[in-house]
Amino acid sequence: MALIRKLPLDFGIQFIARRSLFLAFSAFLLLGSVGLFLVQGLNFGVDFRGGILLEVRTQGPADLGALRDRFAGLDLGEVSLQQFGEPTDVLINIRRQEGDEKAQLAAVQVARDALGDSVEIRRQEFVGPKVGDELKRAGLLATVLALAGIGLYIWFRFEWYFSVAALIALIHDVVATVGFYSLTQIEFNLATLAAVLTIAGYSINDTVVIFDRVRETLRRYKKLPVNEVLNRAINLTLSRTILTSVTTLLALGALFFFGGEVIRGFTAGLIWGVVIGTYSSVALAVPILTFMTLRRGGEEDDPTEAKAKGKAAEAS
Protein backbone atom coordinates (compact mmCIF):
# COMPACT_ATOMS: atom_id res chain seq x y z
CA MET A 1 0.00 0.00 0.00
CA ALA A 2 2.86 2.38 0.80
CA LEU A 3 4.29 1.88 -2.69
CA ILE A 4 0.89 2.58 -4.26
CA ARG A 5 0.55 5.83 -2.30
CA LYS A 6 4.00 6.94 -3.47
CA LEU A 7 3.07 6.69 -7.15
CA PRO A 8 2.59 10.25 -8.46
CA LEU A 9 -0.71 11.32 -9.99
CA ASP A 10 1.14 12.92 -12.90
CA PHE A 11 4.51 11.45 -13.87
CA GLY A 12 5.34 14.34 -16.19
CA ILE A 13 7.01 12.06 -18.77
CA GLN A 14 7.19 13.52 -22.28
CA PHE A 15 5.77 10.59 -24.23
CA ILE A 16 4.59 12.61 -27.23
CA ALA A 17 7.95 14.36 -27.62
CA ARG A 18 9.53 10.90 -27.99
CA ARG A 19 6.93 9.57 -30.42
CA SER A 20 9.49 9.22 -33.24
CA LEU A 21 11.54 6.88 -31.06
CA PHE A 22 8.47 4.82 -30.10
CA LEU A 23 7.25 4.60 -33.70
CA ALA A 24 10.70 3.52 -34.91
CA PHE A 25 10.88 0.81 -32.24
CA SER A 26 7.38 -0.43 -33.13
CA ALA A 27 8.24 -0.52 -36.83
CA PHE A 28 11.40 -2.52 -36.02
CA LEU A 29 9.36 -4.92 -33.87
CA LEU A 30 6.75 -5.43 -36.61
CA LEU A 31 9.32 -5.96 -39.36
CA GLY A 32 11.32 -8.32 -37.16
CA SER A 33 8.21 -10.34 -36.28
CA VAL A 34 7.12 -10.63 -39.93
CA GLY A 35 10.66 -11.59 -40.94
CA LEU A 36 10.85 -14.30 -38.27
CA PHE A 37 7.49 -15.68 -39.35
CA LEU A 38 8.49 -15.82 -43.02
CA VAL A 39 11.94 -17.30 -42.39
CA GLN A 40 11.33 -19.55 -39.41
CA GLY A 41 7.58 -19.96 -39.24
CA LEU A 42 5.67 -21.24 -36.23
CA ASN A 43 6.09 -24.50 -34.38
CA PHE A 44 2.53 -25.66 -35.03
CA GLY A 45 1.14 -28.17 -32.60
CA VAL A 46 -0.86 -31.22 -33.54
CA ASP A 47 -4.02 -29.04 -33.51
CA PHE A 48 -2.90 -27.28 -36.69
CA ARG A 49 -0.43 -29.52 -38.52
CA GLY A 50 -2.19 -32.82 -37.91
CA GLY A 51 -0.56 -35.97 -36.58
CA ILE A 52 -0.45 -38.13 -33.47
CA LEU A 53 0.30 -36.88 -29.97
CA LEU A 54 1.01 -39.18 -27.03
CA GLU A 55 1.64 -38.04 -23.47
CA VAL A 56 3.32 -40.84 -21.50
CA ARG A 57 4.64 -41.34 -17.97
CA THR A 58 7.57 -43.65 -17.18
CA GLN A 59 8.12 -45.44 -13.88
CA GLY A 60 11.30 -43.49 -13.17
CA PRO A 61 12.98 -40.41 -14.69
CA ALA A 62 12.54 -40.70 -18.45
CA ASP A 63 15.54 -41.69 -20.58
CA LEU A 64 14.80 -39.86 -23.83
CA GLY A 65 17.69 -41.57 -25.61
CA ALA A 66 16.39 -45.04 -24.78
CA LEU A 67 12.87 -44.06 -25.81
CA ARG A 68 14.12 -42.74 -29.15
CA ASP A 69 15.91 -46.05 -29.73
CA ARG A 70 12.59 -47.86 -29.30
CA PHE A 71 11.07 -45.85 -32.16
CA ALA A 72 14.06 -46.27 -34.46
CA GLY A 73 13.28 -48.58 -37.36
CA LEU A 74 9.51 -48.57 -36.78
CA ASP A 75 8.90 -46.76 -40.09
CA LEU A 76 6.67 -44.15 -38.46
CA GLY A 77 8.44 -41.18 -40.04
CA GLU A 78 9.51 -38.22 -37.95
CA VAL A 79 9.08 -38.82 -34.21
CA SER A 80 9.99 -36.11 -31.69
CA LEU A 81 10.20 -36.56 -27.92
CA GLN A 82 10.43 -33.88 -25.26
CA GLN A 83 10.24 -33.82 -21.49
CA PHE A 84 6.90 -32.49 -20.36
CA GLY A 85 6.70 -31.06 -16.85
CA GLU A 86 7.81 -33.79 -14.44
CA PRO A 87 11.01 -35.81 -15.12
CA THR A 88 8.78 -38.87 -15.69
CA ASP A 89 6.51 -37.22 -18.28
CA VAL A 90 7.30 -37.24 -22.00
CA LEU A 91 5.43 -35.79 -24.97
CA ILE A 92 5.73 -37.83 -28.17
CA ASN A 93 4.82 -36.27 -31.54
CA ILE A 94 4.47 -38.63 -34.49
CA ARG A 95 3.98 -37.23 -37.97
CA ARG A 96 0.73 -38.00 -39.76
CA GLN A 97 0.83 -41.35 -41.51
CA GLU A 98 -0.11 -41.89 -45.14
CA GLY A 99 -3.65 -43.22 -45.40
CA ASP A 100 -6.94 -42.86 -43.57
CA GLU A 101 -7.85 -43.08 -39.90
CA LYS A 102 -7.07 -46.80 -39.80
CA ALA A 103 -3.45 -46.04 -40.71
CA GLN A 104 -3.22 -43.55 -37.84
CA LEU A 105 -4.71 -46.02 -35.35
CA ALA A 106 -2.28 -48.68 -36.57
CA ALA A 107 0.63 -46.25 -35.97
CA VAL A 108 -0.66 -45.60 -32.44
CA GLN A 109 -0.74 -49.32 -31.76
CA VAL A 110 2.82 -49.71 -33.06
CA ALA A 111 3.93 -46.92 -30.75
CA ARG A 112 2.15 -48.52 -27.79
CA ASP A 113 3.82 -51.85 -28.48
CA ALA A 114 7.23 -50.15 -28.70
CA LEU A 115 6.71 -48.39 -25.37
CA GLY A 116 5.62 -51.57 -23.61
CA ASP A 117 3.58 -52.07 -20.46
CA SER A 118 6.07 -50.23 -18.24
CA VAL A 119 5.06 -46.89 -19.77
CA GLU A 120 1.67 -45.35 -18.97
CA ILE A 121 -0.20 -43.67 -21.84
CA ARG A 122 -1.84 -40.65 -20.22
CA ARG A 123 -3.16 -38.85 -23.29
CA GLN A 124 -3.67 -39.68 -26.95
CA GLU A 125 -4.71 -37.22 -29.66
CA PHE A 126 -5.03 -37.47 -33.40
CA VAL A 127 -5.85 -34.61 -35.77
CA GLY A 128 -6.23 -35.17 -39.49
CA PRO A 129 -4.80 -32.72 -42.05
CA LYS A 130 -8.23 -31.44 -43.09
CA VAL A 131 -9.19 -30.72 -39.49
CA GLY A 132 -5.84 -28.98 -38.96
CA ASP A 133 -6.37 -26.75 -42.01
CA GLU A 134 -9.91 -25.97 -40.87
CA LEU A 135 -8.63 -25.00 -37.43
CA LYS A 136 -6.04 -22.70 -39.01
CA ARG A 137 -8.71 -20.95 -41.06
CA ALA A 138 -11.09 -20.75 -38.11
CA GLY A 139 -8.34 -19.35 -35.87
CA LEU A 140 -7.40 -16.69 -38.43
CA LEU A 141 -11.06 -15.79 -38.94
CA ALA A 142 -11.61 -15.53 -35.16
CA THR A 143 -8.65 -13.16 -34.86
CA VAL A 144 -9.81 -10.94 -37.75
CA LEU A 145 -13.40 -10.81 -36.47
CA ALA A 146 -12.21 -9.99 -32.94
CA LEU A 147 -10.10 -7.08 -34.22
CA ALA A 148 -12.95 -5.84 -36.44
CA GLY A 149 -15.43 -6.02 -33.55
CA ILE A 150 -13.08 -4.11 -31.27
CA GLY A 151 -12.54 -1.47 -33.97
CA LEU A 152 -16.30 -0.98 -34.41
CA TYR A 153 -16.79 -0.67 -30.65
CA ILE A 154 -14.12 2.02 -30.38
CA TRP A 155 -15.66 3.84 -33.36
CA PHE A 156 -19.09 4.00 -31.73
CA ARG A 157 -17.70 4.63 -28.25
CA PHE A 158 -15.38 7.46 -29.33
CA GLU A 159 -14.59 8.66 -32.87
CA TRP A 160 -13.29 7.02 -36.05
CA TYR A 161 -9.72 8.25 -35.50
CA PHE A 162 -9.64 6.59 -32.07
CA SER A 163 -10.73 3.37 -33.79
CA VAL A 164 -7.91 3.63 -36.35
CA ALA A 165 -5.30 4.24 -33.65
CA ALA A 166 -6.62 1.34 -31.54
CA LEU A 167 -6.62 -1.07 -34.49
CA ILE A 168 -3.05 -0.16 -35.43
CA ALA A 169 -1.97 -0.80 -31.83
CA LEU A 170 -3.87 -4.11 -31.71
CA ILE A 171 -2.41 -5.35 -34.99
CA HIS A 172 1.00 -4.37 -33.62
CA ASP A 173 0.36 -6.49 -30.50
CA VAL A 174 -0.92 -9.52 -32.44
CA VAL A 175 1.96 -9.47 -34.97
CA ALA A 176 4.53 -8.98 -32.19
CA THR A 177 3.07 -11.94 -30.28
CA VAL A 178 3.23 -14.14 -33.38
CA GLY A 179 6.85 -13.03 -33.72
CA PHE A 180 7.47 -14.01 -30.09
CA TYR A 181 6.16 -17.52 -30.73
CA SER A 182 8.21 -17.75 -33.92
CA LEU A 183 11.38 -16.65 -32.11
CA THR A 184 10.97 -18.96 -29.12
CA GLN A 185 9.49 -21.85 -31.15
CA ILE A 186 7.02 -22.49 -28.34
CA GLU A 187 4.35 -24.83 -29.68
CA PHE A 188 1.57 -22.85 -31.33
CA ASN A 189 -1.76 -24.59 -30.77
CA LEU A 190 -5.34 -23.70 -29.88
CA ALA A 191 -4.32 -22.68 -26.36
CA THR A 192 -1.70 -20.23 -27.61
CA LEU A 193 -4.19 -18.86 -30.16
CA ALA A 194 -6.49 -18.18 -27.20
CA ALA A 195 -3.55 -16.32 -25.61
CA VAL A 196 -3.29 -14.08 -28.69
CA LEU A 197 -7.00 -13.19 -28.48
CA THR A 198 -6.71 -12.63 -24.72
CA ILE A 199 -3.82 -10.23 -25.33
CA ALA A 200 -5.96 -8.23 -27.76
CA GLY A 201 -8.71 -7.96 -25.12
CA TYR A 202 -6.27 -6.91 -22.40
CA SER A 203 -4.57 -4.34 -24.60
CA ILE A 204 -7.80 -2.69 -25.76
CA ASN A 205 -9.03 -2.43 -22.17
CA ASP A 206 -5.95 -0.40 -21.29
CA THR A 207 -6.28 1.68 -24.46
CA VAL A 208 -9.95 2.51 -23.79
CA VAL A 209 -9.10 3.86 -20.33
CA ILE A 210 -6.44 6.16 -21.78
CA PHE A 211 -8.66 7.21 -24.71
CA ASP A 212 -11.43 8.13 -22.29
CA ARG A 213 -9.02 10.42 -20.42
CA VAL A 214 -7.82 11.85 -23.75
CA ARG A 215 -11.39 12.75 -24.74
CA GLU A 216 -12.09 14.25 -21.31
CA THR A 217 -8.90 16.30 -21.37
CA LEU A 218 -9.53 17.52 -24.93
CA ARG A 219 -12.93 18.86 -23.88
CA ARG A 220 -11.67 20.41 -20.69
CA TYR A 221 -8.51 22.14 -21.88
CA LYS A 222 -9.50 23.56 -25.24
CA LYS A 223 -6.66 26.08 -25.46
CA LEU A 224 -3.83 23.69 -24.65
CA PRO A 225 -1.87 22.35 -27.63
CA VAL A 226 -3.05 18.89 -28.67
CA ASN A 227 0.33 17.29 -27.98
CA GLU A 228 0.29 18.62 -24.42
CA VAL A 229 -3.27 17.40 -23.90
CA LEU A 230 -2.37 13.89 -25.10
CA ASN A 231 0.75 13.80 -22.96
CA ARG A 232 -1.21 14.89 -19.90
CA ALA A 233 -3.86 12.19 -20.52
CA ILE A 234 -1.19 9.47 -20.68
CA ASN A 235 0.52 10.64 -17.50
CA LEU A 236 -2.74 10.94 -15.56
CA THR A 237 -3.59 7.28 -16.29
CA LEU A 238 -0.05 5.93 -15.97
CA SER A 239 -0.38 4.97 -12.29
CA ARG A 240 -3.44 2.87 -13.07
CA THR A 241 -1.72 1.31 -16.08
CA ILE A 242 1.38 0.36 -14.07
CA LEU A 243 -0.59 -1.12 -11.16
CA THR A 244 -2.85 -3.15 -13.46
CA SER A 245 0.06 -4.54 -15.48
CA VAL A 246 2.21 -5.39 -12.44
CA THR A 247 -0.58 -7.24 -10.62
CA THR A 248 -1.45 -9.15 -13.80
CA LEU A 249 2.20 -10.09 -14.33
CA LEU A 250 2.47 -11.34 -10.73
CA ALA A 251 -0.40 -13.74 -11.31
CA LEU A 252 0.96 -14.85 -14.69
CA GLY A 253 4.43 -15.34 -13.21
CA ALA A 254 3.01 -17.71 -10.61
CA LEU A 255 1.21 -19.66 -13.35
CA PHE A 256 4.32 -19.79 -15.50
CA PHE A 257 6.60 -21.19 -12.80
CA PHE A 258 4.12 -23.35 -10.87
CA GLY A 259 1.25 -24.04 -13.29
CA GLY A 260 2.89 -26.94 -15.08
CA GLU A 261 4.07 -27.60 -18.60
CA VAL A 262 0.57 -27.86 -20.07
CA ILE A 263 -0.15 -24.13 -19.76
CA ARG A 264 3.44 -22.82 -19.90
CA GLY A 265 3.28 -21.84 -23.57
CA PHE A 266 -0.06 -20.12 -23.03
CA THR A 267 1.25 -18.25 -19.97
CA ALA A 268 4.52 -17.23 -21.65
CA GLY A 269 2.55 -15.64 -24.49
CA LEU A 270 0.32 -13.78 -22.04
CA ILE A 271 3.33 -12.41 -20.14
CA TRP A 272 4.81 -11.10 -23.38
CA GLY A 273 1.40 -9.79 -24.44
CA VAL A 274 0.81 -7.84 -21.22
CA VAL A 275 4.19 -6.14 -21.59
CA ILE A 276 3.79 -5.31 -25.28
CA GLY A 277 0.09 -4.41 -24.86
CA THR A 278 0.90 -1.94 -22.09
CA TYR A 279 3.64 -0.43 -24.22
CA SER A 280 1.38 -0.05 -27.27
CA SER A 281 -1.45 1.55 -25.28
CA VAL A 282 0.85 4.21 -23.86
CA ALA A 283 3.53 4.72 -26.50
CA LEU A 284 1.79 3.83 -29.77
CA ALA A 285 -2.00 4.24 -29.72
CA VAL A 286 -2.01 7.78 -28.29
CA PRO A 287 0.98 9.14 -30.28
CA ILE A 288 -0.75 7.98 -33.49
CA LEU A 289 -3.54 10.46 -32.67
CA THR A 290 -1.09 13.35 -33.22
CA PHE A 291 -1.27 12.66 -36.96
CA MET A 292 -5.05 13.23 -36.99
CA THR A 293 -7.34 16.19 -36.54
CA LEU A 294 -9.04 15.75 -33.17
CA ARG A 295 -12.41 17.27 -32.35
CA ARG A 296 -12.72 19.27 -29.16
CA GLY A 297 -16.47 19.18 -28.69
CA GLY A 298 -18.31 19.13 -25.38
CA GLU A 299 -19.97 21.55 -23.04
CA GLU A 300 -17.20 21.88 -20.51
CA ASP A 301 -15.08 25.00 -20.69
CA ASP A 302 -11.39 25.40 -20.19
CA PRO A 303 -10.87 26.23 -16.46
CA THR A 304 -8.90 29.36 -17.39
CA GLU A 305 -11.71 30.52 -19.66
CA ALA A 306 -14.31 29.87 -16.98
CA LYS A 307 -12.27 31.83 -14.41
CA ALA A 308 -11.89 34.77 -16.79
CA LYS A 309 -15.64 34.79 -17.53
CA GLY A 310 -16.40 34.74 -13.82
CA LYS A 311 -14.14 37.76 -13.11
CA ALA A 312 -15.67 39.65 -16.04
CA ALA A 313 -19.16 38.99 -14.70
CA GLU A 314 -18.19 40.21 -11.22
CA ALA A 315 -16.62 43.40 -12.63
CA SER A 316 -19.77 44.23 -14.58
CATH number of 2-43+132-291: 1.20.1640.10
Torsion of CA 178, 179, 180, 183, to 10 degrees: 130
pTM over 0.85: no
Fold (topology level) of 51-127: Alpha-Beta Plaits (3.30.70)
User: Model confidence at 33, in pLDDT bands (50, 70, 90)?
Assistant: very high
Domains of the chain, residue spans: 2-43+132-291, 51-127
pLDDT digits (tens, 9 = 90+) for 177-235: 999 999 998 888 878 888 888 888 888 888 888 888 888 888 887 777 888 888 888 88
Percent of the chain with pLDDT over 90: 13
C-alpha torsion 199→200→201→207, nearest 10: 110
State the pLDDT confidence band at 87, using cuts at 50, 70 and 90.
Answer: confident
CB 255 within 8 A of CB 263: yes
Predicted pLDDT at 302: 46
289: pLDDT strictly greater than 70: yes
pLDDT confidence of residue 276: 92
Provide the pLDDT confidence category of residue 176 given band limits of 50, 70 and 90. Answer: very high
Whether the CA torsion 208, 209, 214, 217 is positive or negative: it is positive
| Predicted confidence band of residue 99 (pLDDT cuts 50, 70, 90) | low
| Among the ranges given (122-126, 216-220, 243-247), the one the predictor scored with the smallest mean pLDDT | 122-126
Amino acid at position 271, single letter: I
pLDDT computed for residue 223 by the predictor: 77
Q: Average model confidence (pLDDT) for the chain?
A: 79
Q: Ranked by mean pLDDT, which of 22-36, 98-112, 160-174, 203-217 comes out on top?
A: 22-36
The reported pLDDT for the residue numbered 179 is: 92
Residue 226, CA distances (Å) to 14, 159, 223 in order: 13, 16, 9
With H, G, I as helix, E, B as strand and everything else as coil, classify residue 98. Answer: coil
